[in-house]
Amino acid sequence: MAAGVDDIAIYIPRLYLDATDFAEARGLDPVKLQKGLGVSQMSIVDSNQDPACLAANACLKIMQKNKLSPEDIGRLYVSTESAFDESKAMNSYVIGMLEQVYGQGAFEHCGGVETKFACVSGSYALYDNTNWIRAGEAEGKAALVVVSDIAKYDMGSSGEMTQGAGAVVMLLNDNPRLLAFDPKVTATSIKDEYDFYRPFGKETPIVHGQYSNLLYMIQVRKALEAYKKKVISSGLIKIEPGETILDHMDYIHMHLPYSNMGKKALAYLVRHEWRQLPRWKRILQEIGMEEPVPKDPRGTIESVLSDEEFMAKDHEFTKLFSKTPEYQEVYESKLASSLIASTMIGNLYTASLYLGFRSSLEFEYQKGINLDGKRVGFGSYGSGSSAMVFSGVIQPEYEQVVKDMNLEVEVGQRRKLTWDEYEKLHENKLRPDQSMVHSKKEFVLVEVNTEIETRGERRYIFNE
Ligand code: COA
């Protein structure tokens, strides 16, 4: 039985911080953000928004667009790493909000949990719900998987330039118009790590950025190895001599904490794959230098990162490799369109991979490419850490959905924040009733209770 993504919707907060303003305030070269990281704007949540609001707004959009009633939905999963409750799942909040529109008890039949594993949890949720459909448990109903996050880092930290916020929701069913997931090839890797984590009670994460970046690439590469084995043993794809698995993916979407990370991670995977192939000799000739090797090739991530000579040479090699026509062709045709939304919206943690998927569909379609039958590979990574590699095929009916995609319209009119406004929002100095914009037809947070008996209870309304 086919199972996959029938439609996709996004909700992005209406406020943003401009990268140039950020650079000026922090005394940085704006080119570092724009060219070095690929960040132009970062979405910021208003004082009356939290990740549950973002998720509920995305769910409402997809339901209204597809004229779905709660009866059509059998499962609602929320994936986030911005949880504000250690026990109550974010689904309950989302369902509570949706029931303000659809009627009390309208989603009573609808199961689901909140999933957590940093930025990879949305992929696990998609996998579980796809299997729910494949197992025949859905009884004709669809699943909603909503990935929602607020990427907020400490003031003045190096992560602060990679912030963002938003939610992406995917409608899954057994007759998907957009993408059917390839069965029996989803592969994972997992390792106990402290590259990025957020201890209890802390609003912002503790991040070892460069460590995390390298770990991300290593873990995804391991998952890709496992994916390759499954693809071969299941007979899904035949890899001929001289080919790599990546040759069989028309699109490759990577986790995007910032858009250039996708470029770096893809270059890492391609290098790893091409190294074994006859074409590598030609590439090395074009680059004009040998591929550097760390002093201790079997060492730890720390030892590699502290090997300054290797790191500098590897940086140079990667830059030259990324400029070869062969890599440029892979980058332009398989990845570039997925980065456009990230550049204008910023880091969505769990949702960033799926914002990339959404972005690629729109901008590849606009190029006039026939997407029917194209295979899409996903490289998902979550700190802490786990990676997941999986794939799917774009379905013949995709055009029904993709022809109307318009990122600018879907994001809507946004307001640029002044530095002073940004600081107030970042430091949580504003109450929900002091929000910067008054958005209509959206769920907003009204209050968070502070009384001892009811501490933490949240009240939301739907703004007419
Ligand atoms: N002009 C152009 N490019 C510039 C530049 C300038 N003036 N200054 C720096 N750059 C480039 C660097 O060369 C680098 O590019 P490269 O990656 O291709 O080498 C890039 O900008 C970033 O600079 P760098 O000095 O490496 O950044 P940093 O140490 O200040 O931190 C992050 C960057 C991404 C590590 C940091 O922002 C972070 O930790 N973010 C959080 C990431 C995250 O969420 N990870 C979680 C899991 S994936």
Predicted confidence band at 143 (pLDDT cuts at 50, 70, 90)? very high
Quick one: pLDDT band at residue 439, thresholds 50, 70, 90? Answer: confident
The answer on pLDDT for 297 being more than 90 is: no
**pLDDT band, very low/low/confident/very high, at 455 (cuts 50, 70, 90):** very high
Q: How far is the CA of 37 from the centre of ligand 1 (A)?
A: 6
Please give the pLDDT value at position 302: 94
Q: If you average pLDDT over residues 172-197, what whole number do you get?
A: 98
Ligand 1 centroid to 32 CA: how many Å? Answer: 8
d(CA 13, CA 415): 10
Q: Which amino acid is at 79?
A: S
Mean pLDDT of 280-291: 96
| Confidence (pLDDT) at 1 | 83
Of 348, 336, 345, which is closest to residue 263 (Cα–Cα)? 336
pTM of the predicted model as reported, rounded to 2 decimal places: 0.97
Quick one: pLDDT at residue 454? 96
pLDDT of residue 170: 98
Q: How far apart are CA 290 and CA 306, in angstroms?
A: 21
Give per-residue pLDDT as tens, 10-38.
Answer: 999 999 999 999 999 999 999 999 999 99
Atom of ligand 1 nearest to the CA of 36: 21
For ligand 1, pick from 26, 37, 39, 213 the residue to mutate: most ligand atoms within 8 Å of CB: 37
Residue with the smallest CA separation from ligand 1 atom 15 is: 36
Q: State the pLDDT at residue 78.
A: 98
Query: Helix 51-65 vs helix 90-102: angle between axes, to the nearest 10 degrees?
Result: 40
Q: Is 356 helix (H, G, I), strand (E, B) or coil?
A: helix
pLDDT, residue 32, reads 98
Q: Which helix (H) or strand (E) holds 424?
A: helix 419-426
Q: How confident is the model at residue 186 (pLDDT cuts 50, 70, 90)?
A: very high
Pairing of β 415-416 and β 196-197? unpaired
- Give kind and range of the element (H or E) at residue 340: helix 336-345
Is residue 39's pLDDT more than 90? yes
User: Is 319 a residue whose pLDDT tops 90?
Assistant: yes
Q: What is the mean pLDDT of residues 329-343?
A: 98
Reported as a pLDDT band with limits 50, 70 and 90, residue 458 is very high
Nearest protein Cα to ligand 1, atom 39: 209
Each residue's pLDDT tens digit, 85-121: 999 999 999 999 999 999 999 999 999 999 999 999 9
Query: Residue range 306-312: average pLDDT?
Result: 96
Beta carbon of 312 within 6 Å of any ligand 1 atom: no
Pocket of ligand 1 contains residue 161 by CB under 6 Å? yes
Q: Is the pLDDT reported for residue 298 higher than 90? A: no
Q: Cβ atoms within 10 A of the Cβ of 414, count?
A: 18
Enumerate residues 6+ apart whose C-beta is below 8 A from 428: 47, 203
Q: Is the CB of 168 under 6 A from ligand 1?
A: no
Task: Please compute the mean of the pLDDT values over residues 246-266 and round it to a whole number.
Answer: 98
Beta bridge mates, 8? 170
Nearest CA to ligand 1 atom 12: 36
Query: Could you tell me where the DSSP H helices lie in 258-300?
Result: 259-274, 279-287
Q: What is the mean pLDDT of the chain?
A: 97
d(CA 271, CA 246) in angstroms, rounded, equals 11
Q: Give 306 Cα–ligand 1 centroid separation in angstroms.
A: 17
Ligand 1 midpoint to CA 313 (Å): 17
- Predicted local distance difference test score (pLDDT) of residue 401: 98
Probe target for ligand 1 pocket from 154, 213, 268, with the most ligand atoms within 8 Å of CB:
213
